[in-house]
Structure 1
C-alpha cells in the first residue's frame, strides 16, 4: 500500500479513487431472480391469502431459511420490525413490562418494543464490539426480555447474555437484522436465543426490497407467530386446491404482517447466492484488516474469537483519537470525497435519537412516561464513543476486488496523516 501525500480531496486535492472505477452496486439480482418473479406473476398466487394452487413461495422460503439458520421453524413477515413485534408478543408478557435494548442500534429495535405494548430500557454496549454484553444484563434488577442486537459486522455473545438473563426470567431475542449467515461457535445467528428476527430490507445482505422473518425451535411459538402475522390464522396441514391455505385457529389476536409471494420468490433466489457473496466480502474484509493493522489512528471493530463466521452489513472504521475540533462526521465526508462512495457516521445512540419519540403519539403516552422514568439518569459511554469515533461503509463496497481494499486503506491512511498533522478540519 502506498499512501499519497497530496492534499485531501475534500480540500480540493486529488481523490484516491479514479472516477472511472465504479464501486459494486447493490442489490445484485441472483441468476434465477427474474424467472422466480415471472413464475409468481403467472401463478395466480400473489399472496398467502390467495386460493391454494400449489406450494407457496412463502412456504418454500420458510423451509429454506430455517435450514440455512439451523432452526426447526421460520415464519416470514413483511418487515424486520414486524418480526420483532410479533416475537415480543409471542412471549406472553404484560403491558408495560421492561425490555432491555442496546443503545446503539436502528430505532426499530426499540419502537417494536413500544408497538408490542412494552417499555424499552436502554443499555450501553461494549465499545470494543459495538454489541450488548452480559455485564449490562447483570446490572439490571428487573427486565422481562432482552433484545441482543448483532451490530454492523459483529455478533453479541448470546449464550453469555442468556445465562445472565436466566435469573431474571427474561427471554433473549436475537435481532439478527444485520447478521444473516454469521456464526457463533458454529451456530448461526438467529439460532441462539428463544427466537431470531431478521430483516430483508433493501440494504441488507439478503433482500427482497422489504421483508423479514422469525426463526425458532419452539413449535408452539411458531404457531403463535403464524397467527400474530396473519390475522389469527395459521397454515392448514392439508390445503385444498381453490380454497385459502389458512385456517382460523384464533388462539391469539393477530394482524397482517404477511410477506408477499413476490418477495418470497425473490428471497429464495437470493438465498442461493448469499454464501458466495459472503465469501467475497469476508475475504476482502480480512485483507483490509491486514492493510490497516499497523496504521496508527484507525482500526476495525474488535471481534470476539467465538464468532467464527462474519456477515458484513456495515463496516466500521474507528478513528481514535480524534483531535479537538475534528469529528467523525468530517472524517466520513473526507473519506467519501477520497473514495467516491458514501461513508457515513453511525446513527446517534437511541438515548438522543429523534426517531425514538413515543410522546408524539397520544396512544403511546402511558408507555412514553414509563420510558422516560426507566431511562432517566442512564449513561451510554460505549455507544457514544462509537457514535462519535466510527465511520461506516456499506457491505456492497466489499463485493469488489483487492484493489478496492487498497483504495480504502490508502484513503484511511491519508485521513489519519492529515489528522496527525494537527491541521484544522
Structure 2
C-alpha cells in the first residue's frame, strides 16, 4: 500500500525529502583564528614547549600571555591556566581548604565533571534540582540541611545562574561559590562577566567550547590569597617566581606552600588559546544575532520555544542552542524529535547530558580510594528526586553553538524543520 502523504511532507527519517539539501554544509568547528598558525610556529621553533622549560632569550610564555589576557577579559585580578576544565574545578575546590568529606552542592543538570571534581578534591557532591526556566541552580534550590561549604554554580547551555541571588543566600553563611563557566565564556549579568562573581570561576577550553584550544582550562579569582595556592596546586607545588627569570633557568620556583600535582597547560595549547580569544566576541555577535532571529521565527509555532535567559543577563554565550518543547508531538519523545531534526537538517540535534542522579558516569563506588566518600554520597541521595531537572531532560533538544555561526537562511531552515517535525 502506498501512502497518500506527498513525499516532501513526510519526515526525512521516514524517507521524505529533508528540509536542507545535503550539498549545503554547516559551519565547521573549530574555526582557527588568524594568529593560531603563527603562534603555533613560534612555539614549535622557539625552544619552549611547556612552562617547565628553561627561559630562552626575552620571550614571554604564551601561557603567561593568555593568563593576563583572559584575566583582563573576564575582569578578574588573577587567572591560572590548567590542562583541562575538570582540572580547573579540582584545583579550585582544593584551594578552598575544606575538610575531608565536607559537602558541596552541585546541580543535577550538568556534565559529570562538576560533581567528580568534588570527589577528587576529597569532598562529597550533593546534587540539587535546578530552576525550570533557566536550567541553572537558583537560591530556592540550595539544600542547606547538609551543611554545604561550597556551591558549584553551573551556567547551563546559554543561561547564567543568578549569581547575586545565590550570593545573598551563601554569603552570610560563609559558603563559597565556585562558578562553573564551561558553557559561559563571555556571558554577562548586568554587564559583569561570568566567572567574576564567585570566589573562583572555572572555564573549559575543550574542543567543543566557544573558546577552545583543543583541551585546556583556567581558574580566575580576585582572591590574592588563593591565587598562589592555585598556582602550586596545578604545578607540583611550584609557582611563578616574583623576580625576572635569568636566561636558562625556570620560571617556576619550588615555593611548596601546598602539595600540588601537574595540571599545567602546555605552550601549544596556550598559543592557540591566545589566538582564539581575539575572535571570541565577534563570534558571539554572529551566534547571538542568529539566536534572536530563530526565536522570532519560532514565536508562532505552538509548543516550542528557545531557552531564554533571565532579564538581568545582558549577554548570552551559546554553548548549546536549546529548544524547549512544552508540548511534545503526539507519539514522539524528545529523542525522536532530535533524530527527526538531525535528518531534516544534516546537523546533529541531541538530548542534554544524562542528569547526574542517574548518570552512569557518576559512580564513585567503583573507585576503592573513594569508598568513604562514596558511602556518604549514596546515603545522602537515597531518596532524593529532581522533578525540574527531569522535566528539562525530557522536554529539551539541543544543538551545538556552531549551528548559529551561519547565515539567516540557516535559521530559516531550522525553523522550517522544527515546524515540519512538530506539525507532521
Same fold (TM over 0.5): yes
* 2-structure distance, mates of 1:216, 1:139: 25
The correspondence of residues 12-31 of structure 1 with structure 2, limited to 5 A, is: 12-31=15-34
What SS does structure 1 have at the residue aligned with 2:343?
helix
User: What is residue 65 of structure 1 aligned with on the other side?
Assistant: 70
**Farther-moved stretch of structure 1 (323-332 vs 21-30):** 323-332
* 1-structure distance, mates of 2:241, 2:353: 43
What SS does structure 1 have at the residue aligned with 2:152?
strand
User: What is residue 421 of structure 1 aligned with on the other side?
Assistant: none
**Farther-moved stretch of structure 1 (311-320 vs 158-167):** 158-167
User: What is residue 121 of structure 1 aligned with on the other side?
Assistant: 126
Deviation readout 1:387-412 (Å, 9 max, x if unpaired):
11101110001000000000010111
Aligned-residue RMSD, C-alpha: 1.2
* 2-structure distance, mates of 1:140, 1:366: 20
Matched, 1:149 2:163: no
The correspondence of residues 333-348 of structure 1 with structure 2, limited to 5 A, is: 333-348=339-354
User: What is residue 217 of structure 1 aligned with on the other side?
Assistant: 222
* 2-structure distance, mates of 1:123, 1:168: 18
User: What is residue 88 of structure 1 aligned with on the other side?
Assistant: 93
User: What is residue 4 of structure 2 aligned with on the other side?
Assistant: none
* 1-structure distance, mates of 2:420, 2:8: 7
* 2-structure distance, mates of 1:8, 1:181: 37
Question: Is contact 2:329–2:422 with CA below 8 Å preserved after alignment?
Answer: no
State the shift of 1:320 in Å.
Answer: 2.1
The correspondence of residues 64-213 of structure 1 with structure 2, limited to 5 A, is: 64-137=69-142, 140-213=145-218
User: What is residue 36 of structure 1 aligned with on the other side?
Assistant: 39
What SS does structure 2 have at the residue aligned with 1:60?
helix
4+ residue runs over 6 A deviation: none
State the shift of 1:162 in Å.
Answer: 1.4
Deviation readout 1:61-90 (Å, 9 max, x if unpaired):
000000000000000000000000000000
Matched, 1:363 2:363: no
Length-normalised TM-score, structure 1: 0.96
* 1-structure distance, mates of 2:93, 2:234: 12
* 2-structure distance, mates of 1:386, 1:21: 32
* 2-structure distance, mates of 1:348, 1:313: 17
* 2-structure distance, mates of 1:69, 1:319: 33
State the shift of 1:323 in Å.
Answer: 5.2
* Aligned pairs, number: 415
Unaligned runs of 5+ in 1: 419-425
State the shift of 1:344 in Å.
Answer: 0.4
User: What is residue 393 of structure 1 aligned with on the other side?
Assistant: 399
What SS does structure 2 have at the residue aligned with 1:62?
helix
User: What is residue 422 of structure 1 aligned with on the other side?
Assistant: none
* 1-structure distance, mates of 2:237, 2:392: 42
What SS does structure 2 have at the residue aligned with 1:146?
strand
* 1-structure distance, mates of 2:281, 2:153: 24
Matched, 1:379 2:385: yes
